[in-house]
Amino acid sequence: MPADPAAGTLAFPEVDARPLPASRRRRLPVVSLGIVSVFVLLALLAPVLSPADPVEQSLRNRFKPPVWDEAGSSKYLLGTDRLGRDMLSRIIWGSRVSLSAGVVTVLLASAFGAAVGLIAGYYGGRVDATLMRVTDATMSFPVILLALILAVTVGPSFTNVVIAIAVILWARYARVIRGQVLTLMELDFIAQARIAGAGAWRIITRHLLPNTMNTLVVLLTLQIGYVIIVEASLSFLGAGVPPPTPAWGSMIAEGREFVTSAWWVSFFPGLAILLVVLAFNLLGDWLRDILDPKLRQL
């Protein structure tokens, strides 16, 4: 800090108090939040908002085009599939399957993965080496293969999809949280907690876990989109939620043979997946910018 020879005192640098320009402010992601909110409401209020029974068949009305087509009907706003089932109703009920799978899976995977990462980072040594080798082995195993094995041995179901994805996904959380814990262990407040007599459980739950929550929340948001894609892929392959339960992946699979003649059967479920995954990814990026103190200062 330079001295002012005329005044004989230290001269402090001037601080620019002007507000950040609008281009550098991280605004609320209105579009992403709006898309997520719409699909969450559709999932929660599916029995009320669905215009028809999603599994009700009407062969007389099979392959009805959307309402804006000349041959469309106001009764079927997004058309019907090969069995005459209302596409809009099936997409609404499919949002319940996809969002439930995403939320339940990431909660289970993050809880177990964060626990493994905290323990590995705190104890280090052989404990860390053993847990990280198990983590590496888990990350190398393809989730789709595990889901196919469960589908063949036990049968496809919503529970099997959640288990198959969570069994693999926890390793990502463990790896990231463990790396952050290793950084926190070098800081003074951990050493002071040990000197004060705090045990391992108290340090992990009262000091390490709260300081990793920001990262955990961002990972949760980003991974929901990934889980939705994996669930849709498994349903597309027949290893996910079995019919007649509407699932976006199985709906795309049912319409792949009729892409040229009935494009809407596969298009609208695919569009729903695109919107939801993109919205969660953009929301996760925004949360990362908001919760990361280094990015907040930019």
**What pLDDT sits at residue 240?**
84
| Integer angstrom CA distances of residue 106 from 37, 62, 103, 215, 291 | 18, 37, 5, 14, 19
Q: Where are the alpha helices (DSSP H) in the chain?
A: 30-44, 46-49, 87-123, 125-139, 143-153, 158-184, 188-195, 200-203, 209-237, 248-255, 264-291, 293-296
The H or E element that residue 3 is part of is: strand 3-4
Other Cβ atoms closer than 10 A to 34: 11
Residue 191 structural domain = 29-296
Domain assignment present for residue 292? The answer is yes
- 182 within some domain: yes
Asked if the structure places residue 181 within a domain, the reply is yes
- Whether 18 is in a domain gets the answer no
pLDDT of residue 5: 45
Q: Is residue 9 part of a domain?
A: no
pLDDT for 189 equals 85
Which value, to the nearest 10 degrees, does the dihedral of the CA atoms of residues 138, 144, 147, 149 take? -90
Q: What confidence score (pLDDT) does residue 10 get?
A: 41
Listed residue (118, 279, 123, 285) closest to 208, CA to CA:
118
What's the number of domains the chain is made of? 1
CATH number, domain with residue 94: 1.10.3720.10
Q: pLDDT tens digits for 231-248?
A: 999 889 888 888 888 999
Confidence at residue 150, expressed as pLDDT on a 0 to 100 scale: 79
Q: What pLDDT is stored for residue 54 in this prediction? A: 92
Q: What is the pTM of this model?
A: 0.84
* In-domain check, residue 21: no
> Residue 155 domain-assigned?
yes
Q: Residue 9: its pLDDT value, please?
A: 42
| Angle (deg, nearest 10), helices 87-123 and 264-291 | 30
The pLDDT averaged over each successive group of 10 residues in the chain (298 residues) is 44 43 61 93 93 90 90 89 93 94 93 94 91 91 81 82 90 93 87 84 89 89 91 88 88 90 92 94 87 57
pLDDT at 272: 95
Rg, C-alpha atoms of the chain: 25
Q: Which residues of 242-279 are buried (b: 16+ CB within 10 A; e: fewer)?
A: beebbbbbbbbbbbeeeeeebebbbbbbeebbeebbeb
Asked if residue 12 is part of any domain, the answer here is: no
